[in-house]
A and B are shown apart, each in its own frame.
Chain A
Amino acid sequence: KNEVEQSPQNLTAQEGEFITINCSYSVGISALHWLQQHPGGGIVSLFMLSSGKKKHGRLIATINIQEKHSSLHITASHPRDSAVYICAAPLSSGGRGGGADGLTFGKGTHLIIQP
């Protein structure tokens, strides 16, 4: 069974700073997910990536499959980026990339961007 670790658990930064959140997992996978959870509880999927790098606006996600490690970066951070960012991986190594047999999640990184 895959286990996912995230760091840091909490992060407070000033507006404009470059943010990095790290994720490591224990079992080889074909894809990893980054999610964003807002205070009301709603979760939005940010990225699903299996290799290299993906970019969406000011968000960049990278993954190193060999090292079982992924990072989420936020450039030019803004107070509206304040949220919980969650890393998730398929429950089992044999799982399909999307995790059709379910995902296992990190505990999340609570990010606060101060104006």
Chain B
Amino acid sequence: DGGITQSPKYLFRKEGQNVTLSCEQNLNHDAMYWYRQDPGQGLRLIYYSQIVNDFQKGDIAEGYSVSREKKESFPLTVTSAQKNPTAFYLCASSPILGTQYFGPGTRLLVL
């Protein structure tokens, strides 16, 4: 079955620690995205990538980093510089001109 997988479903981070959220798609989509959702707020764009080895900052990129070494994969690292990392993180992918498909999400909690 084609789709987007995110792992883990829940992730705990200690103060000062970097953590990496995984996102994989087998839909052969060129574009991939990371969004963050906080209670009572709409989703906000962290980073996006339209092609391998290239990515762009979204509205709230500070404290995050990404890589796009393969078309299928777009991991997001939440660095220690992100002061308020507790949130629900959603990965999505799309053809360049098409609908975005979303993964199941990862909930990140700070211990």
Report if A and B associate in a common complex. Answer: yes
Binding site for B on A (CB under 8 A): 4, 33, 35, 40-45, 48, 86, 88, 91, 96-108
| Interface-side segment among B15-23, B41-49, B64-72 | B41-49
Evaluate contact between A45 and B42: CB separation under 8 angstroms: no
12 residue pairs from A and B, CB less than 8 Å apart = A33-B100, A98-B96, A98-B97, A98-B99, A99-B100, A100-B48, A100-B50, A100-B94, A100-B96, A102-B45, A103-B33, A107-B41
Residue of B with least CB distance to A108: B42
Given contacts A43-B90, A98-B94, A100-B50, contact A4 B31 (CB under 8 A): no
B102 contacts A42, CB within 8 Å? yes
A48 cross-chain contacts in B, Cβ below 8 A: 98-99
Is B56 part of the binding interface, using a Cβ–Cβ cutoff of 8 Å?
A: yes
Residues of B within 8 A of A (CB): 30-31, 33, 35, 37, 40-45, 48, 50, 56, 58-59, 88, 90, 94-102, 104-105, 107
The answer to whether A43 and B50 have CB atoms under 8 Å apart is no
Q: Is the CB of A106 within 8 A of B99?
A: no
CA distance A42 to B37 in the complex (A): 12
Q: Are A106 and B42 closer than 8 Å at their CB atoms?
A: yes
Are A4 and B96 neighbours in the complex by a CB distance under 8 Å? no
Known: A98-B94, A102-B48. A41 touches B107 (CB 8 A): yes
Pick the contact of B33 from A4, A102, A107 — CB < 8 Å?
A: A102
Shortest A11–chain B CB gap in Å is: 16
**Highest count of chain B CB atoms <10 Å: which of A43, A88, A100, A107:** A100
Residue of B nearest to A99 (CB): B100
| The 5 residue pairs across chains A and B that have the minimum distance between CB atoms | A105-B42, A43-B102, A102-B45, A105-B43, A41-B105
The complex places the Cα of A100 from the Cα of B32 at a distance, in Å, of 8
Give the residues in chain A near B42, CB-CB below 8 Å.
4, 86, 104-108
